[in-house]
Structure 1
Amino acid sequence: MEAGSSIKSTSSSVVLTIAGFVKFTFMGYFTIGLSLGVLPVFIHNQLGYSAMVAGVVISLQYLSTFLFRGYAGNIIDKKGPKPAVITGMIGFTLSGLFLCAAFLLKEHREICLLLLALTRLITGFGEGLIGASPINWAINAVGEENTAKAISYNGVASYGALAVGAPIGILLDNSYGLAGMGVVVFIIGLIGYLYAKRKEGLRNESTEPGKSFLSVLKTVAPYGIGLMLGGLGFGAISTFITLYYAYLNWTNAVLCLSVFSVFFILGRLIFAGAIDNYGGLKTGITCLAVESVGLMILWFAHMPEIALIGAGITGLGFSLVFPALGVEAVKLVPGSNKGAALGAYGLFMDISLGLTGPLIGGVASHFGMLYLFPFSMGMVLLGFILCLAIGWRIKSF
C-alpha cells in the first residue's frame, strides 16, 4: 500500500475512517432505494404491464451490475478504487436524467418502458462500479485486518440507504412524480462525483502475482453461490413486497422493506464481532437459518403486523451473510486480487437479485402471489445446506 495508508489507531478511529469511504455507497444505494417502492407499481399499474414484465425491468439493473463487476475489479486492482467510484457516480447522474425523460413520456407506454429499462441498465452500471470500490478504498486506508469491518459497515451504508430511500421515493413520487425523483438522483450523483474527485486515492501495492478474473471467480464461487441463494430472500422482499401487499389489500408495503433494512442494520451493528469470534462460515450458516425462519413467518402471515415481524427476522438473518461468507472468500486470493475477489464475490449477489424478477416473478405469475415466500425460503435453505457442505469439506466444524 502507499506510505501511510494503513492506519494504526483506535477502533473508533477505524470506524470513522471507513465511514468516510462508505459514504459513496450510501449515496449510490440511496438513489437505488428511491425507486424500489415506486417503479414496480408504476410499470404494473400505470403502464399496464404484468408483474413479470415489471420484475424483468427491475432486474435489468442487476444484470448490468453483473456485467460491470469484473470491469470495476480490474480498475481497482490496476488504478485503485477512486477512478471506479468517480465513474460510478457519473452513471447515477445519467440515470437521473433518463428517469426524468421516462416520466415526461409516460403517455407513450412503450417508449416510457424502454426509457425505464435504460435507466435500470445505467443504474446497474453505477452500482457495478460503486459496489466493491468503497470497501477496497477503506481497506487500503485501515489495513486488511479490518476487512470484515469494512464489508460490514459498507453493508450498513447500502441497506441504510435503501431503508431511507424507499419511503422518500414514495413521497417524491406522490408529490412530483418520477421527474422529481430523477432530479434528486441527478443531484446526489453529481455531489458524489465532486466529493470523490477531491478525496485522496489509495492503492493496494501488493507484489504478489495476480490471477485472471475468471480464476478468481472460480475460487470464490462456492461462497458466492451461498450468498446468491441467501440473497433471494432479500430480492423477494425488495422487488415484490409492494405487489404482494396490494394483492392482499394491505397498506404501507414500504414499511415492510424499511423494517427489513432496520433489522439488517441492527444485526450488523449488534453482532459485528461474530465473524471475528466464530468465523465467517459458522456465522453465515447461522444467518441463513435465521433468514429462513423469517421467510417462513412471511409465508404464513395473515396480517401485515405479522409480515413485519417476518421481514425483521429476515433482515436480521441476512445481515451478516455477505460479510461472513465474503471474508472467507477473500482469504483465498492473493493481495493483488483483493479488488477482483470482492467484485467477483459481489457478482453472485447481482445474479441473485437479477434472478429475482424473472424467477420469483414467474412463480408468482404461474402459481400465484402466495407462493413468493415459500419458494424464497426453499432457496435460502439450499444456501444453508451448501454452506454446511463447505464446512464439512474443509473440516471447519
Structure 2
Amino acid sequence: MSSAPALSNVQLNKRIISVIIFTFFCYLSVGLPLAVLPGFVHNQLGYSSFLAGLIISIQYFATLISRPQSGRLADILGPKRIVMLGLVCCGMSGVLSIAAVLAQTLPWLSLLLLALGRVFLGVGESFTSTGSTLWGINVVGSLQTARVISWNGVATYLAMAIGAPLGVMLNQLFGIAGFASLIILMAVVGFWMASKKPAIKVTVANRIPFHQVFSRVWLYGLGLGLGTIGFGVIATFITLYFASRDWSGAAFALTLFSLGFIAMRLVFSNMITRFGGLKVSLVSFLIECVGLLIIWQAATPWLVDVGAFMTGAGFSLVFPALGVEAVKQVQPQNQGSALGTYSAFLDLGLGLTGPVAGILIGHWGMQSVYLAAAGVVLTAVLITLRLLSLPQRSPAG
C-alpha cells in the first residue's frame, strides 16, 4: 500500500469522501427499510411479530457471515471491484422488495422474496463498507487509516439517521416501491461513479491463511464487539426504557447519542494518530461506561440524555482506534481480510444484544440492561489494558 504525497487536511478529506460516498449509499439503503418492513410483514402479510423481527435480523447475519470474505476478496480482486459488487447486491435488495410487494397475494412467496432481499442487502453492506474503507486507505495512504475509518463511520451513522425517517415518508407516499426504487437508483448511480474511478493496484505477494489473520486481530475485534453493546442497548431499548418510566423524549436521547458520536468523530479523530489507538480506546471505553452507569441510575429524563450523549461520545472512536491497531498486525496484502474479520465482531455484538438484553429485562427489569452493558464495556477496558501490555507485533512476524 503506497504512501500518498503530502496533502492538506482539506485535500485528504476530499479524496476520502469521494470513496466513502459509496458507504453512505450503502447504509442509506440499509436504513430505508428498517422502520417499514416489520409492519409490512406483520400487517400486510399477516405473519407474527417474531417473523417480522426475523426479516430484519436476516440482514445482520448475512453481513456477519460475509464480512471476512469481503475483506479477503478485496485483497485479491481490489477494493473497487468489491465496492461495485456490493452496490449490485444492494440494488438487488431493492428489486426483490418490489417483487415481494407484487407477490403479496401469496404471503409465503412475498416473505421469501423479502428474506432473499435481506440476504443480498447484508452481503452488499459488508462488501461495500469494507471495500470503501480499504479503497480509502489505498487512496490516501496507510498513515491516514484512522481518518478513513472515522469518515466511514460518519457516513454510516449519518445515512442510518436519515434512512429510517426517509423510508417511512417514502412508504407513506408511494408504498414500499418508493424506498425500494431509491435503493435501486443509488445502486445504479454508485456503480457508475465507482466504474469511473481508477482501480487500485492489488499487491502481489503471499497472503497468510485466514486463521492466522484471525489469530492476530481477534482480541481487537472482541474489544470492539464488547464496546458495541453500549450502542446496541441505547439504539434498541432506550424507547422502552422511557416508556417503562412514563417519560417522554426518547427520540431526543437518541439524537444526543448521535450528536455525541458524530461530534467526537469530527473533532477528536486526530487523537488516534497522536496518542495511538489503544490509549484512545481505553479512554473511550471509560467514557462509554460512565455514560451507561448514568442511564442506569438516572432519576430524571435529562440525566438519561446526559448518559446517552456520553455513551455516544465514548463509543465514537472505538471502531477507528482499535481498527487502526488491528490492520497493523498484518501486511498490506492481508489488510482487507483483517478489516473484514475485525468488523465482523461489531455485527456479532449487535446481533447478540437484542436476545441477551431481552432475557435480562425479563428477569431483572429494564434498568438492568444498562448496568450489564456497563459491565461488558468494563471488560473491554480490561482487554485493552491487556493489549497495551503485549509487545507490538511486526506485520511481517
Normalised by the size of structure 2, how large is the TM-score? 0.87
Partner of 2:77: 79
Whole-angstrom CA distance in 2 between matches of 1:359 and 1:110: 29
Further displaced range: 350-359 or 249-258: 249-258
Q: Secondary structure at the match of 2:152?
A: helix
- Counterpart selection for 1:196 from 191, 194, 197: 194
CA contact (8 A) 1:33 1:161 kept: yes
Change (3 A) 1:32 1:307: farther
Alignment of 1:289 onto 2:286: yes
How big is each residue's C-alpha offset from its partner over 1:14-45, in whole Å with a ceiling of 9 and x where there is no partner?
Answer: 11111111011111111212234445566678
Whole-angstrom CA distance in 1 between matches of 2:106 and 2:372: 35
Q: Secondary structure at the match of 2:60?
A: helix
Partner of 2:306: 309
Whole-angstrom CA distance in 1 between matches of 2:364 and 2:171: 31
Further displaced range: 168-177 or 382-391: 168-177
Partner of 1:377: 374
Following TM superposition, by how much is the alpha carbon of 1:304 offset from its aligned partner in structure 2, in angstroms?
Answer: 4.7
Following TM superposition, by how much is the alpha carbon of 1:124 offset from its aligned partner in structure 2, in angstroms?
Answer: 0.8
Code of the residue aligned with 2:384 in structure 1: it is C
How big is each residue's C-alpha offset from its partner over 1:362-384, in whole Å with a ceiling of 9 and x where there is no partner?
Answer: 43456554443333222222212
- Counterpart selection for 2:169 from 160, 166, 171: 171
Alignment of 1:334 onto 2:326: no
State the number of aligned residues: 392
Further displaced range: 311-320 or 351-360: 351-360
- Counterpart selection for 2:145 from 147, 153, 169: 147
Alignment of 1:280 onto 2:266: no
Whole-angstrom CA distance in 2 between matches of 1:126 and 1:324: 25
Partner of 1:121: 119
Q: Secondary structure at the match of 1:308?
A: helix
Q: Which runs of 5+ in 1 are unaligned?
A: none
Whole-angstrom CA distance in 1 between matches of 2:272 and 2:373: 25
How big is each residue's C-alpha offset from its partner over 1:120-155, in whole Å with a ceiling of 9 and x where there is no partner?
Answer: 322111111012211111111111111111111111
Q: What's the RMSD between the two structures over aligned residues?
A: 2.9
**What pairs with 1:102-117 in structure 2 (closer than 5 Å)?**
102-103=100-101, 113-117=111-115
**What pairs with 1:248-287 in structure 2 (closer than 5 Å)?**
253-287=250-284
Normalised by the size of structure 1, how large is the TM-score? 0.87
Partner of 1:21: 19
CA contact (8 A) 2:77 2:202 kept: no
Change (3 A) 1:76 1:165: same
Code of the residue aligned with 2:155 in structure 1: it is A
How big is each residue's C-alpha offset from its partner over 1:168-221, in whole Å with a ceiling of 9 and x where there is no partner?
Answer: 2333344444332222222222221221122211134264x3211221011100
Q: Secondary structure at the match of 2:203?
A: coil
Following TM superposition, by how much is the alpha carbon of 1:305 offset from its aligned partner in structure 2, in angstroms?
Answer: 4.3
Whole-angstrom CA distance in 1 between matches of 2:249 and 2:110: 26
CA contact (8 A) 1:287 1:317 kept: yes
Alignment of 1:322 onto 2:348: no
Partner of 1:180: 178
Whole-angstrom CA distance in 2 between matches of 1:194 and 1:220: 34
Q: Which runs of 5+ in 2 are unaligned?
A: none
How big is each residue's C-alpha offset from its partner over 1:336-370, in whole Å with a ceiling of 9 and x where there is no partner?
Answer: 11111111111111211222233334434565544
CA contact (8 A) 1:55 1:356 kept: no
Code of the residue aligned with 2:233 in structure 1: it is A
Change (3 A) 1:102 1:179: same
Further displaced range: 222-231 or 161-170: 161-170
